[in-house]
Amino acid sequence: MQRKKLLEVKQLKKHFRVGGNSILKAIDGVTFDVYKGETLGLVGESGCGKSTTGRTIIRLYDPTEGEVLFNGKNVHDLKGKEEKEFRRGLQMIFQDPYASLSPRKTVRDIIAEGIKARKLASGKEIDEIVHRLLHTVGLNSDHAARFPHEFSGGQRQRIGIARALAVEPEMIIADEPISALDVSIQAQVVNLMRQLQQERQLTYLFIAHDLAMVKHMSDRVGVMYLGRMVELASSDDLYEEPLHPYTQALLSSIPVQEPNASKKRERVLLRGEVPNPMNVPSGCPFQTRCPKAMPECREVVPVWKEVRPAHWAACHLYN
């Protein structure tokens, strides 16, 4: 049975002008699909363009080039009723659970805002929906009258999840939803997200830098470096047999609980620093740090191709 493509990202680029004529290529030709009901994890070092990708998809940024299709429609061309339907169907959970919640509004007003804007309910029915959502995310009805500063980080993130769920979306972009939380709270939030996915048939784009958590959460995983996708595969394939040298280095850095396994595993160390994104190296952007770099890597940009069934990579090693 063929799976439905809910989100299609095609050669997406987002460039920012930074002082004078300098151009920051935050995203530079990213392509991937997200299928209905799955979780696609997006990982990479800080500054690789993960969050910018999510924000461009949801129309917080306009793309420089490329397309984003949601249910087959280009989201950056939508207007009027179609735009409202898109904004209802695709919601976002932000990284900072405090900065993303208005300090002047009660929890009730924060969650009800989307319901009112889209006229999904009115009067007492709104209160009933808000209370039901609070219980869904592990809070109680009394919390509706409180303000964000009265909650812990984990509780605030639960409020953010309730706000995203209020308009009954098909898909949620979770932009590092656990990075600002204590380790003990991270597992609770991730387990809540997985439970909600099963109950509501949600689709997630899960952006994070915690590789172990991404594996736990995701069906497939995409790896980004300097604004480009370098590898994409199922979670099991990527973690068991990564193809791109950058992915291999990332995965070798994950802590291993078993001491014996840790001794056997080869740690891949990358030389040098991440290049300035306003001065990306010619050819492969990873060639200045790659332990397997060849002369071709310095001159030719590698092609994004399906190296194995459903396992994509952009690397000259597989030409």
Helix axes 124-136, 107-117, angle to 10 degrees: 120
Mean pLDDT value across residues 285-305: 93
Instruction: Quote the DSSP letter at residue 226.
Output: T
pLDDT of residue 265: 58
Interatomic CA distance for residues 71 and 142, integer angstroms: 38
**Amino acid occupying residue 96:** D
Q: How far apart are CA 162 and CA 166, in angstroms?
A: 6
Alpha-carbon distance 290 to 300, whole Å? Answer: 15
Calculate the alpha carbon distances from 271 to 30, 81, 210, 249, 265 in Å. Answer: 25, 51, 21, 11, 19
Residue 44: name the closest of 279, 253, 293 by CA. 253
What pLDDT, in 10s, does the model give residues 18-41? 877 888 999 999 999 999 999 999
Q: Is the pLDDT of residue 63 over 80?
A: yes
pTM: 0.91
DSSP letter for 120, please. S
Look at 41-55, 245-259, 281-295 and tell me which has the smallest mean pLDDT. 245-259
Q: Which tens digit of pLDDT belongs to each residue from 116-147?
A: 988 888 889 999 999 999 999 989 999 999 99
Instruction: Look at residues 79, 83, 56, 80 and name the one whose alpha carbon lies nearest to residue 68.
Output: 56
Q: Range with the lowest mean pLDDT among 74-88, 148-162, 252-266?
A: 252-266
Is the pLDDT confidence value at 297 over 80?
Answer: yes
